[in-house]
């Protein structure tokens, strides 16, 4: 009798564990709701913004026209290489997020990600400066610069504001800019923003949602 009791107890435990595993997997693949996305700092636009007339330069000096965004989920940060605080901190978070991606994503999911830095100080940030700055964080990140007019147009299209703070020096000055990340979908459209403060856990959880349900 005890033998049968032990068997049924073992079967019940295994059935319960199987149910918990199934429940966990089902919840893991379930899309995040509005409140969960809000908790991650994600603000989705009512409709994605299509980019127009983009003529910038990558860190290798090649034309950036927005087509490089297609086929990828892109987290983009707008800043400048001479930034004393926020830019190095947030670029480091992006760097660590990529490291976390490698441990928590499939190869296919990881291949769909792209990190991008866009300079809002093109007067000082030429191709070489952007290349050196981006290389400090990841060889896979895309670095963007260009003329003041084209940078401003790109920033305005995706809703990023910035302003040079007046200074007596033409070379030593600060640029006030927004610190959120811009999210581009695989169609190359701006679909929303990730508000600060953000961290590697939030950025990873959001990306897992986007790549599966975005």
The DSSP letter of residue 167 is -
Domain count, the chain: 2
Expressed as residue numbers, the domain containing 99 is 32-213
CATH of the domain at 88: 3.40.30.10
**What digits encode the pLDDT tens for the residues 97-122?**
999 999 999 999 999 999 999 999 99
- Claim to verify: residue 11 and residue 37 sit in the same structural domain: no
- Claim to verify: residue 90 and residue 18 sit in the same structural domain: no
- Claim to verify: residue 14 and residue 104 sit in the same structural domain: no
Residues of the chain above pLDDT 90, percent:
82
- Claim to verify: residue 78 and residue 22 sit in the same structural domain: no
- Claim to verify: residue 26 and residue 103 sit in the same structural domain: no
- Claim to verify: residue 9 and residue 56 sit in the same structural domain: no
Residues of the chain above pLDDT 70, percent:
87
Per the rule left: phi > 0, alpha: psi between -120 and 50, beta: everything else, 71 is: left
Q: Average of pLDDT values for 197-212? A: 96
Residue 182 corresponds to which tokens in the numbers above? 């811009």
- Claim to verify: residue 75 and residue 164 sit in the same structural domain: yes
- State the Cα–Cα distance between residues 169 and 51, nearest whole angstrom: 34
- Claim to verify: residue 12 and residue 38 sit in the same structural domain: no
**What digits encode the pLDDT tens for the residues 71-100?**
999 999 999 999 999 999 999 999 999 999
**What digits encode the pLDDT tens for the residues 159-182?**
999 999 998 888 899 999 999 999
- Claim to verify: residue 95 and residue 9 sit in the same structural domain: no
- Claim to verify: residue 128 and residue 100 sit in the same structural domain: yes
- Claim to verify: residue 154 and residue 103 sit in the same structural domain: yes
Helices 86-104 + 200-213 axis angle, to 10? 60
- Claim to verify: residue 24 and residue 12 sit in the same structural domain: yes
């Amino acid at each position: 009798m005890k033998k049968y009791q032990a068997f049924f107890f073992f079967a019940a435990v295994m059935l319960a564990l199987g149910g918990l595993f199934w429940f966990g997997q089902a919840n893991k693949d379930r899309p995040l709701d509005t409140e969960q996305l809000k908790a991650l700092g994600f603000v989705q636009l009512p409709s994605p913004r299509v980019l127009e007339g983009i003529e910038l330069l990558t860190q290798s000096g090649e034309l950036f026209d927005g087509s490089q965004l297609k086929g990828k989920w892109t987290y983009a940060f707008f800043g400048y290489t001479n930034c004393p605080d926020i830019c190095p901190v947030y670029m480091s978070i992006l760097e660590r997020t990529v490291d976390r991606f490698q441990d928590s994503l499939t190869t296919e999911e990881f291949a769909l990600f792209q990190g991008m830095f866009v300079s809002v100080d093109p007067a000082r940030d030429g191709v070489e400066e952007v290349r050196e700055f981006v290389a400090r964080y990841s060889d896979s990140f895309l670095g963007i610069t260009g003329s003041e007019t084209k940078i401003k147009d790109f920033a305005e299209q995706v809703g990023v504001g910035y302003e040079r703070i007046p200074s007596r020096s033409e070379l030593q000055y600060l640029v006030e800019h927004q610190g959120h990340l811009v999210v581009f979908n695989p169609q190359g459209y701006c679909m929303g923003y990730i508000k600060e403060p953000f961290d590697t856990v939030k950025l990873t959880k959001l990306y897992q949602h986007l790549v599966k349900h975005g």
